[in-house]
Amino acid sequence: MSYLSSAKIAIAALIVGAGPALADSAGEKEYVVACAGCHGESGMGMGPFAELLNTETPNLVNLAKANGGVFPFETVLTTIDGRDGVRAHGSTMPIWGERFKSSATSQRGETADMVARGRILSLVYYIESIQK
């Protein structure tokens, strides 16, 4: 739960850069590389990998609508991160928190975890920006 404290989210926002506009474009690039294969280029679900894996991948543009018109920021954050174990066992969604952390390289003394959280946060901002 401490992961979600607003102080930490604020720190992650600083790492991402400056504000949602920048985070959106960073998040969009990340999305195309890491997520579009399963969730579709436009977030509508069923990208090319999903067909190969024979899984249903949810559409990511109706998350706000499905939550009474409010984008479920924290749920999306923890779903993507996956490290808190809340996600169902056997989920086919990769644990992005682990992946981003293990691929992080530090040039200015950031920890791998800071880099991973920043990347995840920029993805959440991007997904928020594509809600219908």
For tokens 């992961």, the residue is 3
Q: How far is the CB of 11 from ligand HEC (least distance, A)?
A: 20
122 lies in the site for ligand HEC, by CB under 6 A: no
Q: Are 123 and 27 in contact (CB under 8 A)?
A: yes
* Spatial distance between the Cα atoms of 119 and 121, rounded to a whole number of angstroms: 5
103 lies in the site for ligand HEC, by CB under 6 A: no
Name which position in 39, 64, 78, 128 contacts ligand HEC (CB under 6 A).
39
Q: What phi-psi label fits residue 109: left (phi over 0), alpha (psi between -120 and 50 degrees) or beta?
A: left
Size of site (CB under 6 A) for ligand HEC: 21
Q: How far is the CB of 125 from ligand HEC (least distance, A)?
A: 11
Amino acid at residue number 101:
K
Q: Are 83 and 89 in contact (CB under 8 A)?
A: no
92 lies in the site for ligand HEC, by CB under 6 A: yes
Residues that bind ligand HEC (CB under 6 A): 34-35, 37-39, 49, 53, 55, 57-58, 60, 76, 79-80, 87, 91-94, 96, 123
